Amino acid sequence: MAVDDFEEMVRDCGPVVYRFLLSLCGDAGLAEELTAETFCRAWCQIDRFRGECRVETWLCQIAKHALYKERRRTKGHIPWEQAEEGTYDGALLERLADKEQALAVFHQLHRLEEPYREVFMLRVLGELKFKEIAAVCGRTESWAKVTFYRAKDKLIEGMEERYEDQL
């Protein structure tokens, strides 16, 4: 692949990869860093791309593996700057305490089976279009729409059951 072609791929697919990573990790800085790492890995592995799927799907798979590797590497570690300041839990806990409803939704979301959870997160948190979700998952746009709406229904049903139990 020529350098110009690769640069075009970065321009075209970079936003999709970034939003995908952001939807999975929720950290803009980490998503940006892993997007760059994804394209570095893609450059090194370009000869392995067989064209059996869309390039966005291939890149998002590389991105997902980069995120998993990063999570394994940093599991249980608190960044030094945050440990010194003592801010690693305070701000987050305050926000979660103020958003009990959001926490309940996240608990329900965590209970969703795949692919419902992934599609819902890509759509809501990652703000991906159904066409982009379809490309990431290697499915059709109709599949992405149906899966999202079923996920939404499952979340609503789970929330209703949760609040019925509390009454």
pLDDT in tens, 109-146: 788 888 888 888 888 877 788 998 998 899 999 999 99
Note whether 7 and 62 are same-domain residues. yes
CA distances from 100 to 10, 44, 97, 103, 132 (A): 39, 45, 6, 5, 31
CB-side exposure of 130: number of CA atoms within 13 Å? 10
Residue 103 belongs to what domain range? 89-161
* Interval 61-103: pLDDT, tens: 888 888 888 877 776 555 544 444 444 444 444 444 445 666 6
Note whether 53 and 9 are same-domain residues. yes
Residue 78: which region, alpha, beta or left (left: phi > 0; alpha: psi -120 to 50)? Answer: beta
Domain-embedded: residue 84:
no
